[in-house]
């Protein structure tokens, strides 16, 4: 584990600063749900779609299932987290990856990470992801509720999903306070100001969007597959 001091603005200058989640990390890190497996599989499939890549930076390794899968399949995995209790290889925040040189990695993965950053740091984080890697997977939580109907007839791999997203338009993100997911998320896909289209526009100055999609096996995750410009 390498400790890196990340220079960040003071709270008085730019509002809240990035910090560790206010959870019982010991308890949380032992939890394992079917969503972990669905998410790890989506990451593995999306990385494989990028072709000949080997060096991966995982920001926010969480319970570590995705890292274990990648290492099992022979990828070189480096981890970074702002919380030293998760024992990452490097300690730091997604908005400042200055410990890494340009294009140090083939792929950077930030799965359910950026929503934990105060909005003032979002564009800086996106720029850093594009600087340190050739490609990026950015998976984000969907706010509100989703009603869906899925048909899998067991023929030719057909799989159809019809989904309706319900989100309270009056429950707006607060740039100074994480209001969602029990006080852990500053924003989520579908919340006012963070539609899929508007979030995609935040990526476009730094990335070409290869694909963006609902994860059919974890419908509360909206996933972007990106290549740096």
DSSP per residue, 97-163? -TTS-TT-EEEEEEES-GGGS-GGGHHHHHHHHHHHEEEEEEEEEBPSEEEEEEE--SSTT--EEEE
How many C-beta atoms surround the C-beta of residue 73 within 10 A? 10
What integer pLDDT is reported at residue 2 of this predicted model?
60
Q: What are the structural domain ranges in the chain?
A: 26-228
Kindly tell me the number of DSSP H helices and DSSP E strands found in the chain: 6, 10
What integer pLDDT is reported at residue 8 of this predicted model?
44
Pairing of strands 133-141, 145-151: unpaired
What integer pLDDT is reported at residue 9 of this predicted model?
44
Given this structure, which CATH class describes domain 26-228?
alpha beta
- pTM of the model as a whole: 0.91
- How much is the average pLDDT of 136-157? 93
Q: Is the pLDDT at 45 greater than 90, yes or no?
A: yes
pLDDT digits (tens, 9 = 90+) for 168-203: 889 999 999 999 999 999 999 999 999 999 999 999
Q: Is the pLDDT at 14 greater than 70, yes or no?
A: no
What integer pLDDT is reported at residue 24 of this predicted model?
81
Give the model's confidence band at 11: pLDDT under 50 very low, under 70 low, under 90 confident, else very high: very low
* Partners of residue 59 on adjacent β-strands: 80, 110
Give the model's confidence band at 162: pLDDT under 50 very low, under 70 low, under 90 confident, else very high: confident
What integer pLDDT is reported at residue 13 of this predicted model?
44
Four-point Cα dihedral 202, 206, 210, 216, nearest 10: -40
- How much is the average pLDDT of 142-167? 90
What integer pLDDT is reported at residue 141 of this predicted model?
97
């Amino acid at each position: 584990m390498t400790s890196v001091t990340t220079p960040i603005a003071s709270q008085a200058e730019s509002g809240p600063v990035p910090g560790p989640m206010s959870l019982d990390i010991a308890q949380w890190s032992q939890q394992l749900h079917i969503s972990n497996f669905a998410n790890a599989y989506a990451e593995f499939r999306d990385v494989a779609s990028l072709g000949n890549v080997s060096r991966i930076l995982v920001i926010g390794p969480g319970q570590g299932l995705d890292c274990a899968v990648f290492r099992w399949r022979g990828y070189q995995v480096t981890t970074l987290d702002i919380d030293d209790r998760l024992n990452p290889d490097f300690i730091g925040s997604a908005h400042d990856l200055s410990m890494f040189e340009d294009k140090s990695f083939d792929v950077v993965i930030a799965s359910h990470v950026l929503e934990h950053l105060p909005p003032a740091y979002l564009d800086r984080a996106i720029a850093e992801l594009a600087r340190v890697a050739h490609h990026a997977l950015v998976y984000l939580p969907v706010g509100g509720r989703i009603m869906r109907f899925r048909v899998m007839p067991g023929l030719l791999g057909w799989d159809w999903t019809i989904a309706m997203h319900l989100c309270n338009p009056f429950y707006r993100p607060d740039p100074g306070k994480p209001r969602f997911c029990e006080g852990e998320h500053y924003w989520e896909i579908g919340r006012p100001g963070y539609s899929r289209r508007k979030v995609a526009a935040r990526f476009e100055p730094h990335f070409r969007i290869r694909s963006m999609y609902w994860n059919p096996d974890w419908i509360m995750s909206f996933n972007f597959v990106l290549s740096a410009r």
